[in-house]
Amino acid sequence: MSKTPRSTTQCDSLLAGYDAGEYFCEMFGRRGLSHTRAVRDRLNGLDIATLRRRAREAENELFNLGITFTVYTEDKAIDRVLPFDVIPRILSTKDWQTIETGVKQRVAALNLFLYDIYHKQQVLKDGIIPEELVTGNPDFRPEMRGFDPPQGTYVHVCGTDIVRDDKGNLRVLEDNARIPSGVSYVIENRHLMMRAFSDLAQGMPIANVDEYGSRLAKALSDVAPAGVSDPTVALLSPGVFNSAYFEHVFLAREMGAPLVEGRDLVVENDKVYMRTTDGLEPVHVIYRRIDDDFLDPETFNPDSLLGVPGLFRAYRKGNVTLANAIGTGVADDKAVYAYMPRIIKYYLDEDPILANVDTNICREPDGLAKTLDHLDELVTKPVGEAGGYGVVVGPRASKRELNTLRRKLKNDPANFISQPMIKLSVSPTLIGRALEPRHVDLRPFALTGKSTWVLPGGLTRVALKRGSLVVNSSQGGGSKDTWVLG
Amino acid sequence: MAKSNLLSRFAANTYWLGRYLERAENLARILDTNETYARDTSGGANWQRVLDLYSDSARFHDSYDTPDAESVLNFYILDGDNPTSIISAVSRARENARAVRHLISTEMWVQLNAFHYRLSHLTRRDIWLTNIAQACAGIRLDCQTFEGVAEGTFFRGETWCFYQLGKYIERADQTTRVLDMGYDQLHGEDGDAVAAVNRDVLLRSVSGYHAFRSRYPSATTPQDIAIFMLYDEQFPRAVTLCVNYVTARLQDLEKRHGGIREIDLEKSRKSLVFCLETGLGHRVTSRRLHKFLDDLQIALGQVSDAVGKAYFG
């Protein structure tokens, strides 16, 4: 017997049973995408048992490396690995160029918008966006008015959540302009993938992701206070109990920067110092991974034990730079999001390169009426929640859930937006003994000091539950390596 | 981006990382050794001896009844509520390592993480008397593997200095404790088989049996063993050798920070060296040795406190 039929059988077993159904598939597209052909061929050379074994090894390695996030129950802390799927998500160069330029455009608009609303507020005076939505927003920080951050940059690190609809169009789902996380997984996933599947990647022109740490250090040095030529940059973390602590460690290491907590910092004469074995040492730039509210108990939440008393005074005096700036939360608000196309047009006089998802703003009577009329068809989101909490997917919600939502909407319409249900694209994902379609999104990371740079690819999150559209790690999501293939 | 000094908190973290792992290794040695001694005697009293060694008797009796092998081994290996247990030491080492993960090598973290995982999956069956030697050997090997990984991968900067300080202060302290516990069992008339076995066991517990044999081909008096464990500069667990390393690392730190900043630290180091060199006297008696070992432990504790005051903020 010749060996050929056997390998054909294996080939059939791996991708032949795969059916993306009504969704756009990142691997096959509508008719089979040419840029993924080589990967598909190589995948077909593997059998399911090998794939499963390697996936298991990869997962063990994640655990051993301690690439975990911590889940706290009543009496103990459990380390969990963010599930890693071994089938890469592949972006064509053409798609990537669209994403890269689109993200840069958005970040530029966000920074101009933030500068404006903390200075002349021309965008409000010109009626582009309702004033109340901005100045009435809990994340608008009046303390920031009239303050000039170095380089005019507010959003130094931006994570833009992008999805692809059933037509294959890329759309922005939300901007994360506060403390976007997940970039460490992009880089660790790549390392893991190169170790476990070097044969799959061999000789492929995959865009490199290892530059991120040095690019971040550079961007943060760019925004040092005036007159500081060789700034000390520190990463401020809430500490080991924070679920993203692994990422803080990772980034501090990649930058070669000290990883500090509030208790390591002290403010004297409006200057920030850290306590070292050689005494107090000045700090010029702080990449902070602590929310605005907890940064400085003197200015914000007085109960915060994580922050540094006096930090805001030092910041306002220009003696230290915070990245991201304080008060960026108003720009990535889910309600402000709806105005982003108009904001882009207003400041840049350009059409958005990446489209928004159509959004009904429930604070507006029209938007509320539309939402209430089509509650069972729309995805309704509270504007003040992160991590996918409180999202109701109309077509999949029970009558009771919809009734509860209807009541909440009527009580507090300003707290909600609604969007048509996007049929998120899918990507083949190893589930049990087969490759099945699972929904994915994409979060590219943009760094802005003097100029903006976007890490090629980004974090692909995948909803591992069959049919689920929620990709968040707190809700059963996993991640994939993301390849930009030239 | 400017190069900055080590945060005080991280200095403390690496110091304690070194101390806790050394402690775990030595505790495994002591439990293993004691189990071997206990075979020839009546049992209960010998396990009480370990509790006395660490002044843990009162805390032990809060949660356990009789200090038999099973209870004491559980107390010192698996009991996470006991802060002086091996699992507690390794958990704390891991928490300290987690805080300085960006300053230690990935390999160190992976080994410690895997060690912690293995340890937290040990069951009471694994530490039954018939299995205890194997369990202790596994713990020792994991500690030694970590040490080997650190030797090969840990950047020799300030962080490493604090790690070494913690390790050698703890090791010196532990050697005094092993000697303290074992010394009185070494005595016997010529040809006393039990005493002879005890001498071998004590030496083996500090991995010093062959070294001692080649150093003193014919001598085996308890005094010789004590002198060897305390003063032999080529024996890695000897107190003198540990104190020499502590001195060298303190000098590294002084150089780095520009001269002697902390008078108290230098004072406590000098009195430790003085105690070690002159405290025992020429004629070693059991009573004098135990008193001397207590003094050494106190002097080591004073150096440790002074390091904290000088560098940990």
Quick: pLDDT tens for B119-136: 999 999 998 877 888 999
pLDDT for A5 beyond 60: no
Closest partner CB to A276 (pick from B8, B101, B102): B8
> Three-state secondary structure along A317-356?
CCCCEEECCCCHHHCCCHHHHCCHHHHHHHHHCCCCCCEE
DSSP 8-state code for residue A307: S
pLDDT band, very low/low/confident/very high, at A305 (cuts 50, 70, 90) = confident
pLDDT band, very low/low/confident/very high, at B22 (cuts 50, 70, 90) = very high
Residues of B in contact with A231 (CB under 8 A): 1-2
pLDDT for A11 beyond 50: no
Average pLDDT over chain A, rounded to an integer: 90
- As a whole number of angstroms, the distance between CA A211 and CA A187 comes to 9
Residues of B in contact with A253 (CB under 8 A): 101-102
pLDDT band, very low/low/confident/very high, at A387 (cuts 50, 70, 90) = low
CB within 8 Å: A276 and B99: no
Alpha helices per DSSP H over A202-244 = 212-222
Residue in chain B nearest A61 by alpha carbon? B110
In a domain, A105, yes or no: no
Residues of A in contact with B110 (CB under 8 A): 64-66
Q: In this prediction, what percent of chain A has a pLDDT beyond 90?
A: 68
Q: Give the tens place of pLDDT for each residue, A259-304.
A: 999 999 999 999 999 999 999 999 999 999 999 999 999 988 888 8
Average pLDDT of the residues in B71-93: 95
Residues of B in contact with A225 (CB under 8 A): none
DSSP helix, strand, coil percent of chain A (3-state; round to 5): 35, 25, 40
Number of helices (H), then strands (E), belonging to chain A: the values are 16, 23
Q: Does A139 touch chain B if contact means CB atoms closer than 8 Å?
A: no
Q: Around B249, how many Cα atoms within 13 Å sit in the side-chain half-sphere?
A: 24
Q: Does B105 touch chain A if contact means CB atoms closer than 8 Å?
A: no
- As a whole number of angstroms, the distance between CA B39 and CA B206 comes to 19
Average pLDDT of the residues in A19-41: 86
What is the CATH classification number for the domain harbouring A409? 3.30.1490.270
Q: Give the tens place of pLDDT for each residue, B205-228.
A: 899 999 999 888 886 789 999 999
CB within 8 Å: A275 and B7: yes
String of DSSP letters for A394-451: GGGS-HHHHHHHHHHHHH-GGGEEEEEPP---EEEEEETTEEEEEEEEEE-EEEESSS
CB within 8 Å: A253 and B102: yes
How many domains are there within chain A? 1
Q: Does B266 touch chain A if contact means CB atoms closer than 8 Å?
A: no
- Two structure tokens written together for A182: 């997940």
Residue in chain B nearest A259 by alpha carbon? B102
Helix (H, G, I), strand (E, B) or coil at B70: helix
CB within 8 Å: A277 and B4: no
Q: Give the tens place of pLDDT for each residue, B87-101.
A: 999 999 999 999 898
Instruction: Kindly report which listed range (A297-306, B81-90, B302-311) carries the lowest average pLDDT score.
Output: A297-306
Q: In this prediction, what percent of chain B has a pLDDT beyond 90?
A: 67
Query: Å from B107 to nearest chain A CA?
Result: 8
Q: Can you give the length of chain B in residues?
A: 313
CB within 8 Å: B102 and A264: no
Q: Does B120 touch chain A if contact means CB atoms closer than 8 Å?
A: no
Q: Can you give the length of chain A in residues?
A: 486
pLDDT for A2 beyond 50: no
In a domain, A378, yes or no: yes
Q: Does B287 touch chain A if contact means CB atoms closer than 8 Å?
A: no
In a domain, A399, yes or no: yes
pLDDT band, very low/low/confident/very high, at B59 (cuts 50, 70, 90) = very high
In a domain, A369, yes or no: yes
Higher pLDDT among residues B193 and B182, named by residue: B182
Instruction: Kindly report which listed range (A317-321, B41-45, B82-86) carries the lowest average pLDDT score.
Output: B41-45
Q: Does A257 touch chain B if contact means CB atoms closer than 8 Å?
A: yes
Q: Give the tens place of pLDDT for each residue, B237-261.
A: 999 999 999 999 999 999 888 766 6
Residues of B in contact with A273 (CB under 8 A): none
Residue in chain A nearest B5 by alpha carbon? A276
Residues of A in contact with B149 (CB under 8 A): none
Single-letter amino acid code for the residue at A260: V
Instruction: Kindly report which listed range (A8-12, A336-340, B50-54) carries the lowest average pLDDT score.
Output: A8-12
* pLDDT at residue B54, as a whole number: 86
Q: Give the tens place of pLDDT for each residue, A179-237.
A: 999 999 999 999 999 988 888 888 899 999 999 999 999 999 999 999 999 999 999 99
Cis peptide upstream of residue B13 (ω within 30 degrees of 0): no
Strands annotated E in A154-298: 157-164, 170-176, 233-236, 259-260, 265-268, 271-276, 279-282, 285-288
Residues of A in contact with B99 (CB under 8 A): 240
Which pTM does this prediction carry?
A: 0.86
Average pLDDT of the residues in A1-27: 66
Chains A, B: CB pairs < 8 Å: 79
Closest partner CB to B95 (pick from A221, A240, A252): A240
Average pLDDT over chain B, rounded to an integer: 90
- As a whole number of angstroms, the distance between CA A366 and CA A368 comes to 5
Residues of B in contact with A250 (CB under 8 A): 102
Alpha helices per DSSP H over B183-238 = 193-205, 209-215, 222-231
* pLDDT at residue A323, as a whole number: 98
In a domain, A246, yes or no: no
Average pLDDT of the residues in B146-170: 97
Q: Give the tens place of pLDDT for each residue, A35-92.
A: 888 888 888 888 899 999 999 988 888 877 777 666 666 566 667 778 899 999 999 9
Average pLDDT of the residues in B145-158: 96
Residues of B in contact with A260 (CB under 8 A): 7
Domain of residue A388 covers: 360-420
Only one residue has tokens 């509270």, namely A382
pLDDT for A9 beyond 60: no
Residues of A in contact with B257 (CB under 8 A): 277-278
* pLDDT at residue B297, as a whole number: 97
Average pLDDT of the residues in B58-81: 93
In a domain, A202, yes or no: no
* pLDDT at residue B160, as a whole number: 97
Average pLDDT of the residues in A21-28: 92
Q: Does A65 touch chain B if contact means CB atoms closer than 8 Å?
A: yes
Single-letter amino acid code for the residue at B189: E
Instruction: Return the residue in B102, B155, B265 with the most chain A beta carbons within 10 A, the one to mutate for interface testing.
Output: B102
Dihedrals phi, psi of B201, to nearest 5 degrees: -65, -45
Single-letter amino acid code for the residue at B292: F
Average pLDDT of the residues in A336-356: 96
Residues of A in contact with B9 (CB under 8 A): 261, 263-264, 275
CB within 8 Å: A64 and B110: yes
In a domain, A392, yes or no: yes
Q: Among residues 179-218 of chain B, which lie with CB inside 8 Å of chain A? A: none
In a domain, A405, yes or no: yes
Closest partner CB to A240 (pick from B4, B5, B98): B98
CB within 8 Å: B109 and A65: yes
